[in-house]
Amino acid sequence: MISSINPSVKAIAVLIPGVLLGFMFDIFTPLAYFIFILLVTFTISGISIVKWLKIFSAFLVLVLGFAWMTMLYASDTYAGGEVLFEVWEFDVTTGSVMIAISLALRSMCFLSLSLLFVLTTDSTKFMLSLMQQLKLPPKLTYGILAGYRFLPTFQEELSVLRKAHRIRGVKRSRGIRGRINQFKRYSIPLLANAIRKAERVAIAMESKGFTDERDRTHYHEMKVRTRDWVFFGAIVGMFFVIVITSYSLGYLNIFGRKV
């Protein structure tokens, strides 16, 4: 299961193809890699298809919006070829359609890689792994972890504030000025509570001997095992296999230039 893979190795394995895909402007490379990520997601990740589709479809609208805007506003470098149709004053060419499809596929690859990481990674283990494997300062990692743990409490506090205002007869504000005043009413008490909690956590950590020393022991030790390198090799290696295949078939296009 992918959830048992070391989080730092998993993050790097997802990050490398995610960055390199940004240079691929053809259709074949991102399409083939997107299919591969889907196979990995639905076969060995343990992620529910329904849950994945709910999250993915929410971002799909954004992806299609990016593709549509790219198709209309493609630069002259990419908008070559025959004019297919017109939208208002814009000529839509074969080149602009191809670059829009490529952008949509790359965005779907980024999204599917992100979901593969987020839905199979425990946030506490990820922070511990960043500290133990990537040697990030403990102050930074524990600070991020504490802030992440506070997010649900802020939502609860906001709900309590709204109910308290409603009991006192303060109605929901309308209009831009009213919304700004309402934001001030909620944000100041929330900020005050956040500072108070941060101080308490800092005092508690210092009282228990927390320091910024990197040479420290851990109750949960995160290790890099063979299966982590197998996962890394599969995710990154398959990307390069697809790039080589794309090059062999004559599809590979980097920054609008065929290689």
**CA–CA distance, 44 with 2 (Å, rounded to integer):** 7
pLDDT of residue 117: 92
pLDDT of residue 203: 87
Q: What is the CA radius of gyration of the chain?
A: 24
Burial of 90 (0-12, 13-18, 19+ CB in 10 A): middle
Strands of 144-225 (E only): list them: none
Strands 257-258 and 253-254: antiparallel
| Averaged pLDDT for residues 52-67 | 89
pLDDT of residue 230: 93
**CA–CA distance, 78 with 96 (Å, rounded to integer):** 6
pLDDT of residue 249: 92
Average pLDDT, the chain: 85
pLDDT of residue 19: 92
pLDDT tens, residue by residue, 169-208? 777 777 778 788 888 888 888 888 888 888 888 888 888 8
Residues with Cβ within 8 Å of residue 18, at least 6 apart in sequence: 109, 110, 113, 114
pLDDT at 116 over 80: yes
Cα torsion angle, 45, 47, 53, 56, sign: negative
**CA–CA distance, 36 with 65 (Å, rounded to integer):** 24
**Distance set, CA 141 to CA 10, 35, 166, 171, 258 (Å):** 17, 34, 38, 40, 43
pLDDT at 229 over 90: yes
pLDDT of residue 20: 92
pLDDT of residue 131: 84
pLDDT tens, residue by residue, 78-92? 777 777 777 777 778
pLDDT of residue 113: 93
pLDDT of residue 16: 94
pLDDT of residue 71: 83
pLDDT at 156 over 80: yes
pLDDT of residue 61: 87
| Averaged pLDDT for residues 95-123 | 90
pLDDT tens, residue by residue, 18-48? 999 988 888 999 999 999 999 999 998 888 8
pLDDT of residue 248: 93
